[in-house]
Amino acid sequence: MTKGAVLILGGRSDIGLAIAHAFAAAGHPVMLAARGPETLEADRADLALRHGVTVTLHAFDALDTASHAAFVDALPSLPAIAVCAVGAMGVQAKDEHDPAAAIAVMRANFEGPATILAILADRFEARGRGTLVGISSVAGERGRATNYIYGAAKAGFTAYLSGLRNRLAKQNVHVLTVLPGFVATRMTAGMDLPARLTATPAAVGAAVLHAVERKRNVIYVKPVWRLVMAVIKAIPEPVFKKLKL
Amino acid sequence: MILSGWGRTTPQACRVSRPRSEAELAARVAEGGLIARGAGRAYGDAAQSAANTVDMGGVNRMIRFDADSGQLVAEAGVWLADVIATFLPRGWFPAVTPGTRFVTLGGAVAADVHGKNHHREGSFGAFVDWIDLMGPDGTVRRLTPGDDLFRWTLGGMGLTGVILRVALRLRRVETGWIAQRTVVAPDLAAAMAAFEGNADALYSVAWIDCLAQGAALGRSLVMLGEHASVAALPGVRREHPFTVPARPRRALPFDAPGFALNPLTVRAFNEVYWQLGKRKAGPALVPWDAYFYPLDAIGNWNRIYGRRGFVQFQCALPLASSADALHELLKVVSASGQGSFLAVLKRFGPQAAPFAFPMEGYTLALDFPLHGQTSALLDRLDRIVVAAGGRFYLAKDARMSRETLWQADPRAAAFVELRDRLGLRAAFASTQSERLGL
């Protein structure tokens, strides 16, 4: 039985690669898309060798939104599943005073991902099936002083995914929103993350595969995050604004 | 962050980095005092350095596989478990495997790990075609068995450079099953006779009751094994010969209290294990995971020894003095009552690499929970081994004194001389190498 191909946008990221491994292990061919894809050759060979599936590399620049339609046209085939793991953390303390840097964070986390998913959504809708996966963030659930630029962009992406899901629910196109919580990756290296709240990239990969197979809508990778965010969202604003989080 | 070995007796605050590229790694090497850490399965302090520990866990891609020769080229952080998961379904198995599959290829080379087939085929290094090794100046050299530095890297405990890539020959197998034959040996002499009489068995290893005394001293269950052929499987298994029943994975969620393992419980365990084992004498078909990795099914089994952890004692003894030395070691252990239930006896073939642990003769491995009396007991055991001309396994060591090592292993001088000559001593060091003066 051959399974449908999975396209990983942001295929260089730790989370993107871990999701690629999870789907490849389940027998899905993989298309890894990133800037400078030739530097992903070692990862391509590793995926293909370990899992015995076809793995291809594709040049993709999330910020160059004008190129997105041509990017999709150039893929060897329209994938069954597309995962958007594109994102950039930025440096809040610096970016909040630097409009250009803040715009770059907003574009990488919202504009770019939304644009490529919009194009894929139309293609999937026309075909009459497909799965779109967006890796968003718990940071988008409530803005905090320490990462509100990133959080605001992710909030936009989460709302976008929610709307997309609403629009496509009757068209046999499924949309999954993933809120990973803390993940031990290159992006968070050096940050002091609490172990109980921190997932490995492999755990994110397994959770995404599972959620796609079960057609889940919104998942937290570690269930404890559902509770944590419920508490954070319930704090009244007069109190919340004085907290250091 | 706090690092420790698998025995959990050597906690130490270490600066840990996780380089993503050779350039980043070279920058770390330039800082000096570096040790590479793989899966952290060495029992003591071999893979920790307070100043400069490099976690190789992220360097774990497979590069290529040649299905004609069975040669796998992979980065050093790839686990043996990954190799098995990937290649057993295609009919290949590691040619040499230690008692856990949760080790990295780099760690397996650095410790030159041995398996149950050492008496016939040698240790891990015997199946390595080449390695890529980063030296003290950050340059990477491809080394083959003809190179001096290749041979010193086997068993060199990461002190000759950072192993980046390994070319490893796998073994063709027809099934995922082992045809096992258990020989019941009522005493030490019978156990050794079983090894000598079955030297042609591919795999051999004995569980030894290290608490048995008197006439039963050294009673053992000698387990011989061969890779089973498809024809040897029952009909229903032949269609999927690499599929074995899934074993439930258990984990110890917390540290056992210190009193859980005491001379009484261990003695009771050994007695039950012996009685059950005797009934299993003769042939049996065993899944690969249960045969090679009985403890891998229990995640964090090291927690059974409680918060203080445990120490491993593994020695190699020359053939000529093996019988007497084993007798003496077992007498001391059984009289102390400090026995372990993971006592293992095994016949070794000859030493291959210049600083590798195995030597033609026997190896005995024991583990002890760490408490007040353990240290004196281990010192006594050390002295017996040194007097018999034996030596110790650095991958298991957590507490040996510098004097003991240098008495037991005159090869240390040549190893240190090599490290000095090639400028390796400042660049590569572990807490263990500092303790032992390597």
Summarize pLDDT for B222-233 with one digit per residue, the tens.
Answer: 999 999 999 999
With CA atoms as reference, the chain B residue closest to A41 would be: B63
- Mean local confidence (pLDDT), B64-73: 97
For residue B68, pLDDT beyond 90: yes
Name the residue range of residue A56's domain.
Answer: 6-240
A150 annotated active-site: yes
pLDDT-based confidence at residue A187 (cuts at 50, 70, 90): confident
Rounded to whole angstroms, how far apart are CA atoms B252 and B271? 23
* Nearest chain A residue (CA) to B87: A50
Task: Report the percentage of chain B scoring pLDDT > 70.
Answer: 97
CA distance readout (Å), A81 to A58, A62, A123, A133, B122: 16, 18, 12, 8, 48
Interface of A with B (CB under 8 A): 42-43, 45-46, 49-51, 186, 189
Question: A176 φ, ψ to 5°?
Answer: -115, 130
Q: pLDDT value at position B169? A: 98
Number of structural domains found in chain A: 1
Give the rounded distance of the alpha carbon of A213 from its chain centre.
Answer: 17
Question: How many Cβ atoms from other residues are within 10 Å of residue B215's Cβ?
Answer: 8
- Tell me the pLDDT band of B367, cut-offs 50, 70 and 90: confident
| Mean pLDDT in residue range B415-427 | 97
Q: How confident is the model at residue B14 (pLDDT cuts 50, 70, 90)?
A: very high
Measured between CB atoms, which of A45, A51, A189 is closest to B63? A45
Instruction: Decide if A213 is inside a domain.
Output: yes
* CA B394/CA B392 separation, integer angstroms: 6
Q: Kindly list the residues from chain A whose CB atom is less than 8 angstroms away from the CB atom of residue B86.
A: 49-51
Closest CA of chain A from B357, distance in Å? 32
Q: What is the pLDDT of residue B257?
A: 66
Looking at residue B89, its pLDDT comes to: 96
- Give the mean pLDDT of A105-130: 98
Where residue B253 falls among pLDDT bands split at 50, 70, 90? low
Cβ contact (<8 Å) for B63 and A50? no
pLDDT given at position B277: 84
Is A170 among the domain residues?
yes
What domains are there in chain B, each with its CATH number?
A: 58-173 (3.30.465.10), 178-241+256-400 (3.30.70.2520)
pLDDT at residue B271, as a whole number: 85
Within its chain, how far is the Cα of B268 from the centroid? 27
Q: How far is A3 from chain B (nearest CA, A)?
A: 19
ipTM rounded to 2 decimals: 0.87
Task: Provide mean pLDDT across the span B380-405.
Answer: 96
Q: Does the pLDDT of residue B301 top 90, yes or no?
A: no
B371 interfacial to chain A (CB closer than 8 Å): no
- Which of B45, B69, B59, B34 shows the shortest CA–CA distance to B166? B59
Whole-number pLDDT of residue A152: 98
Q: Check: CB of residue A146 under 8 Å from CB of residue A92.
A: yes
At B342, is the pLDDT very low, low, confident or very high (cuts 50, 70, 90)?
Answer: confident
Nearest-by-CA chain B residue for A201: B58
Residues of A in contact with B71 (CB under 8 A): none
Interchain contact B22–A (C-beta under 8 A): no
B75-118 tens-digit pLDDT: 999 999 999 999 999 999 999 999 999 999 999 999 999 999 99
Mean pLDDT of chain B: 93
pLDDT at A1 over 70: no
- The pLDDT, as a whole number, for residue B67 is 96
Residues 6 or more apart whose Cβ sits within 8 Å of residue A165: A174, A175, A177, A217
How close, in Å, is residue A114 to chain B by CA atoms?
30
Q: Taking residues B135-148, what's their average pLDDT? A: 97
- Asked if B63 lies within 8 A of A42 by C-beta distance, the reply is yes
pLDDT at residue A219 is higher than 70: yes
Neighbours of A37 (CB within 10 A): 19
Question: Residue A216 maps to which CATH number?
Answer: 3.40.50.720
Model pLDDT, residue B260: 66
Measured between beta carbons, the chain A residues lying within 8 angstroms of B64 are: 45, 49
Query: What average pLDDT does the segment A54-64 reach?
Result: 98
Q: Residue B386 is encoded by which pair of tokens?
A: 């040194």
The answer to whether the CB atoms of A42 and B65 lie below 8 A apart is no
The answer to whether the Cβ–Cβ distance between B64 and A45 falls below 8 Å is yes
Which residue would you say has higher pLDDT here, A188 or A110? A110
3-state class (DSSP) for residue B392: strand
Pairwise CB contact (< 8 Å): A46 & B65? no
Q: How far does the CA of residue A39 sit from the closest CA of chain B (Å)?
A: 12
Return the pLDDT at A225: 93
SS3 letters across B97-137: CCCCCCCEHHHHHHCCCCCCCHHHHCCHHHHEEEEEEECCC
Residue of B62, B78, B132 to mutate for A, most A C-beta atoms under 10 A: B62
Contacts of B63 in chain A (CB under 8 A): 42, 45-46, 49
Residue A101 resides in a domain = yes
Give the model confidence (pLDDT) of A93-116 as tens digits: 999 999 999 999 999 999 999 999
What is the nearest CA distance from A37 to chain B, expressed in angstroms? 16
- Within a domain: A61: yes
pLDDT in tens, A191-217: 778 888 999 999 999 999 999 999 999
In a domain, A52, yes or no: yes
A137 falls within a domain: yes
